[in-house]
Structure 1
Amino acid sequence: MPAMQLHSPAAERNRQPILERLQRLLPPRGDALELASGSGQHVAHFAAAMPGWTWQPSDPDPAALASIAAWCAGLPNVHAPLALDASDATWAGVPDRVDLVLAVNLLHIAPWAVCGALMAGAARHLSPAGVLVVYGPFFEADVPTAASNLDFDADLRRRDPRWGLRDLAAVDAQARSAGLVRRERVAMPSNNLLLAWGRSPGERR
């Protein structure tokens, strides 16, 4: 493995389950923006398995950008990675319209304000039938939280008090304020969820 290629064991484990859900959820072709692409393992795996989709990976970390480029070398349907912080107001460099905005393991390792920025940015850039897909662990009011997720949340908050698992009802409220409504909730391995939001009927244009 080249030195610039970062490796995430979690990405290695969850890339196939996420891919299988994306293949069920999405049409055969489209344009995708991935936020916080990290090592690049996800986008490389998805692009190879979904050649009808064009992928724009992104990350604010220069080391991650180099790793993404290394993982995606030779994949014709992956654009050069974009230096992008999801909390930026403008999402500079992002295409005006994309059919998928994908964020894997982002919201719990970012300040809460990133959630609102994510929803607003997705609403601004999604095509009329496009979807925002978010993967990760969440708190749900009527669902018991796994002990491992409670431990994970406590560890995150020790590392940075701005981090932590998010309450799904609060995330949905942020989505609604941006004109998005949740369409999918899929239970995933290791007590994670895959969630999808799209434009509310009055917002499709």
Structure 2
Amino acid sequence: MQKKSPPPEKFLCQTTPSAMRNASPILRVLKDILPEKCSVLEIGSGTGQHSVIFSEGINCLKWIPSDVDASNFASITEWARTATNNTPASPRLIDASQPDWCLSANDNINVIVSINVIHISPWSVTKGILKGAQRFLPKGGFLYFYGPFIQNNLSTAAGNIAFDKSLRERNEDWGLRNINEIEKLANEHALKLDKIVEMPSNNLSVIFTKT
């Protein structure tokens, strides 16, 4: 008789309130844009809450969580063990600002998602994600960003202005990113801005397509 796996260690499943709040709105957008049987790489999985919610909700072929901090792996792994179907893959150690992403051709990535990452990381991480998307995504693949942004010729919500200020006071390399600057750099990496979707709490879903 096959030995059953032990139940998940719930005390290892870290949580963040924002991840629970934004999961449903993000899932609706992902369901709308992602192809069936997609293979998704998540950059900056953090606690791992989103990995299990989206892996099950989208019914993707493969969901690969990753993080720059290996100390998050215990939480990511335990969240994955709560899945009732379509369990996420084991987490990968990926620093998006570096060229080695611990991926192989067998991973067949056709979607990259990065949620609430680029405003709390150096600009080099944004550039690295765009470079990685050019390298690993096939033609027609998607790059998905979620978070607060700045857009030229559009007013920025007062709360986002204050948030940007507080981020830069904590770390001069952090701060809300300008979509127009991201788009300009994305075009240099065979990525075209496809759609911007307004989300709750002055956040945006920003979707690029590999050309």
Q: What's the CA shift string for 1:94-120, capped at 9, x where partnerless?
A: 556311100001110010111111100
Does residue 23 in structure 1 map to residue 19 in structure 2?
A: no
Separation in structure 1 between the aligned mates of residue 64 and residue 39 of structure 2, nearest angstrom = 8
Does residue 117 in structure 1 map to residue 128 in structure 2?
A: yes
**Counterpart position of 2:99:** 89
Length, aligned pairs only: 200
Query: SS of the residue aligned with 2:152?
Result: coil
- Normalising by structure 1, report the TM-score: 0.93
The unaligned stretches of length 5 or more in structure 2 are 1-8
**Counterpart position of 1:62:** 70
Separation in structure 2 between the aligned mates of residue 62 and residue 148 of structure 1, nearest angstrom = 32
Higher strand share: 1
Query: Quick check: which has more Rg, 1 or 2?
Result: 2
Q: What's the CA shift string for 1:138-168, capped at 9, x where partnerless?
A: 1111211001101110110111000000111
Q: What's the CA shift string for 1:149-198, capped at 9, x where partnerless?
A: 01110110111000000111111111011111110100100101101111
**Counterpart position of 1:167:** 178
Separation in structure 2 between the aligned mates of residue 50 and residue 138 of structure 1, nearest angstrom = 25
**Counterpart position of 2:80:** 72
Residue pairs, 1:1-205, within 5 angstroms: 2-73=10-81, 75=83, 76-93=86-103, 95=105, 97-200=108-211
- Normalising by structure 2, report the TM-score: 0.90
- Conservation of the 8 A alpha-carbon contact between 1:123 and 1:180: yes
The unaligned stretches of length 5 or more in structure 1 are 201-205
- Tell me which moved more, 61-70 or 155-164: 61-70
Alpha-carbon RMSD across the aligned residues, in angstroms, is 1.4
Q: Residues 52, 121 of structure 1: CA spacing in aligned structure 2 closer, same or farther, 3 A cutoff? A: closer
Q: What's the CA shift string for 1:67-120, capped at 9, x where partnerless?
A: 110111154441101111111112123556311100001110010111111100
